């Protein structure tokens, strides 16, 4: 059937159709995952605080995210009178689009990737470093003190933590010898999951992605107690919903990145009978869920950092340590002749 | 065909956003157009097959440098009307400088000559892309033939950074800074004193 269809259409058109279908096959489950991540967050935090969480709309409150979405959709979009309208509208769209396009290079299973590009890791890094624009633009365009302060804080924070994140990624890349995400996972199949040799880097990476996605305890950009809601305080209805979706999609993306870099992507924990019956994508999703649980767990457990302590942690502790680890990794690889591309 | 169309799209947008950078009234819009320009330049690199350079351009220029620009421009309290005031007055000077630059460029390009073996020189150290990704090719080139130049550029950046810090750093009085080392170093022995207080006597 598929062969017959592909014979009928010109090859370029057929490729276009396939790519569009692939995009839909990623974006729809992603949006569903975002909706139920908000539900999971409220349930997990509820359980940690000995509450029930949402339990009214639908069985076990399962329809709660849909109800929230419908509510946001029906509300009025308000433009503050002093706002710079064009930038004000572009900012949430940018946040949302960036959270989606990064998924193009994530390998869900062996060969299950939309764009298997050579520089996959750099692409992810570039996209995540662009995330700051949505926040800083919304903060400026809102023409409000709280939003502006939130935007500035977030910009400084994301730029600081990117540096140590980059070094963490470099120490993994040096071990693999390729910037392709599938190659990184396949290398972990040959050796071990990188969480074992690079355990301190995994810790730094997880803390850095908390800071990079502006999540508690580093949610300085929207600290309710001082900035009301930070950069998105002037946004309402769908413009707010886009920020919200973008933030949660980014959380899932960063968890996927941690999974690919450190937890062996789609690989089963051991390549023996009961584990390798389960398809790779299930393992991939399970690992993402495990990392996401850390996000929720941390949010319910830790108080918010103070801003100067956040900067100190990023620049004075993570940066020197990850730099040291890059040197150590390269040293070990050279000393034992494990350097990729040498043998 | 499609590649040519995409090239004209990127090139056209790059030039158009470059023009908007200098003509936009609001400096924040200028920086945003600058970012758009960087993006299109990255697109052109991609069309050339230089994917590593394209990504690095986005990471470094868009992700870090332009954020700093935006930061500074947003914090500046600029009176746009005042900025426009002296345009007629400065226009002749600007035009003269522009003309001089144009003549200089014309002189340089007029006398431009390629070495006869330039193609061979360019192609020699770079293996074809089907044998090696251009990230690897670039790495091999930078860290072998050009390692000293690479190190020198790193040192120059370091010196610039130290200079910037030195120029802006000043010791302020009356600031209470958190001294983590002292805090962690405190023990019960040097911070708590236990006294026997007699009833009704006080210390």
Rounded to 5 degrees, φ, ψ at A217 are -85, 15
Residues in B 118-137 with any Cβ partner in A closer than 8 A: 133-136
What is the predicted pLDDT for the residue at B103?
93
Q: Look at A129 and B136 and tell me if their CB atoms are within 8 Å.
A: no
Using CB atoms, pick whichever of A140, A156, A159 lies closest to residue B74.
Answer: A140
Whether cis (ω within 30° of 0) applies to the bond prior to B174 is no
CA distance to partner chain B, nearest, from residue A103 (Å): 16
CB B22, CB B64: distance < 8 Å: no
Residues of A in contact with B63 (CB under 8 A): 126, 129-130, 132, 159, 162
What is the predicted pLDDT for the residue at A2?
59
Residue range A59-82, pLDDT digits in tens: 888 888 888 888 888 888 888 887
What is the predicted pLDDT for the residue at B99?
94
Give the DSSP letter of residue A10. Answer: -
Using CB atoms, pick whichever of A84, A87, A123 lies closest to residue B55.
Answer: A123
CB proximity list for A300: less than 8 A, separation 6 or greater: A44, A45, A48, A49
Q: Could you write out the DSSP letters of every residue in B162-202? A: HHHHHHH--PPTT-----HHHHHH--HHHH-------TTT-
Residue range B35-80, pLDDT digits in tens: 999 989 999 988 887 888 888 888 888 888 888 888 888 877 666 6
What is the predicted pLDDT for the residue at A343?
44
Q: What ipTM is given for this predicted complex? A: 0.79
**pLDDT per residue rounded down to tens, chain A (343 residues):** 556 666 677 777 888 888 888 888 888 999 889 988 989 998 999 999 888 888 888 788 888 888 888 888 888 888 888 778 888 888 888 889 988 888 888 888 887 888 888 888 888 888 888 888 888 888 888 888 888 888 888 888 888 888 888 899 999 888 888 888 888 888 888 888 888 888 899 999 999 888 888 887 887 766 666 777 777 877 888 888 888 888 899 899 999 999 988 888 888 887 777 777 778 888 888 899 999 999 899 988 888 888 888 888 888 889 999 999 999 998 988 888 777 765 4
Using CB atoms, pick whichever of B59, B70, B75 lies closest to residue A122.
Answer: B59
- Kindly state the tokens that stand for B53: 């350079």
- Kindly state the tokens that stand for B62: 């868009």
Mean predicted confidence (pLDDT) in B153-157: 94
Q: Look at A140 and B133 and tell me if their CB atoms are within 8 Å.
A: no
Mean pLDDT, chain B, rounded, equals 83
Residues of A in contact with B64 (CB under 8 A): 129, 159, 162
CA distance to partner chain A, nearest, from residue B57 (Å): 9
CA distance to partner chain B, nearest, from residue A61 (Å): 40
Q: Which residue has the higher pLDDT, B126 or A208?
A: A208
Least confident of A242-246, B28-32, B51-55, B178-182: B178-182
């Amino acid at each position: 059937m598929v062969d017959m269809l592909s014979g009928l259409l010109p090859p370029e058109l057929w490729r276009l159709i396939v790519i569009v279908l692939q995009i839909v096959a990623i974006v729809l489950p992603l949006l569903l995952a975002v909706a139920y991540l908000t539900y999971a967050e409220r349930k997990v935090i509820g359980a940690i605080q000995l509450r029930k969480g949402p339990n009214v709309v639908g069985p076990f409150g399962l329809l709660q995210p849909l109800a929230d979405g419908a509510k946001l959709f029906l509300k009025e979009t308000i433009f503050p009178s002093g706002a710079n309208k064009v930038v004000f509208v572009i900012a949430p769209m940018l946040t949302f689009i960036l959270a989606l396009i990064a998924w193009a290079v994530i390998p869900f299973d062996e060969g299950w990737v939309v764009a298997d590009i050579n520089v996959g890791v750099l692409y992810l890094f570039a996209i995540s470093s662009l995330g700051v624009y949505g926040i800083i633009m919304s903060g400026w365009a809102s023409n409000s003190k709280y939003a502006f302060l939130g935007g500035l804080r977030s910009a400084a924070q994301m730029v600081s933590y990117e540096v140590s994140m980059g070094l963490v990624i470099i120490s993994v890349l040096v071990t693999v010898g390729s910037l392709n995400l599938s190659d990184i996972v396949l290398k972990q199949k040959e050796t071990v999951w990188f969480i074992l040799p690079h355990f301190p880097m995994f810790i730094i990476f997880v803390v850095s992605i908390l800071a990079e996605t502006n999540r508690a305890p580093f949610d300085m950009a929207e600290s309710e107690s001082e900035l009301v809601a930070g950069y998105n305080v002037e946004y309402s209805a769908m413009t707010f919903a886009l920020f919200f979706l973008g933030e949660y999609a980014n959380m899932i993306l960063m968890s996927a990145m941690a999974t690919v870099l450190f937890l062996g992507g789609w690989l089963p924990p051991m390549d023996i009978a009961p584990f390798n019956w389960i398809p790779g994508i299930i393992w991939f999703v399970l690992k993402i869920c495990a990392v996401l649980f850390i996000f929720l767990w941390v949010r319910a457990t830790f108080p918010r950092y103070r801003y100067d302590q956040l900067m100190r942690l990023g620049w004075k502790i993570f940066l020197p340590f990850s730099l040291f680890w890059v040197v150590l990794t390269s040293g070990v690889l050279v000393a034992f002749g494990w350097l990729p591309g040498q043998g | 065909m499609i590649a040519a169309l995409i090239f004209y799209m990127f090139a056209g947008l790059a030039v158009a956003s470059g023009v908007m950078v200098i003509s936009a009234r609001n400096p924040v819009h200028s920086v945003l157009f600058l970012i758009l320009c960087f993006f299109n330049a990255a697109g052109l690199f991609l069309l050339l097959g230089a994917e590593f350079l394209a990504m690095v351009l986005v990471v470094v220029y868009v992700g870090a440098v332009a954020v700093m620009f935006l930061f500074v421009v947003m914090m500046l309290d600029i009176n746009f009307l005042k900025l426009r005031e002296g345009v007629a007055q400065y226009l002749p000077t600007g035009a003269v400088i522009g003309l001089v630059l144009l003549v200089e460029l014309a002189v340089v390009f007029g006398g431009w000559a390629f070495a006869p073996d330039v193609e061979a020189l360019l192609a020699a150290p770079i293996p074809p892309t089907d044998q090696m990704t251009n990230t690897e090719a670039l790495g091999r080139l930078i860290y072998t033939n050009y390692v000293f130049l690479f190190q020198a550029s790193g040192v120059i950046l370091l010196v610039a950074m130290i200079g910037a810090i030195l120029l802006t750093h000043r010791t302020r009085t009356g600031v209470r800074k958190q001294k983590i080392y002292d805090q962690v170093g405190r023990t019960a022995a040097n911070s708590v004193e236990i006294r026997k207080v007699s009833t009704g006597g006080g210390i």
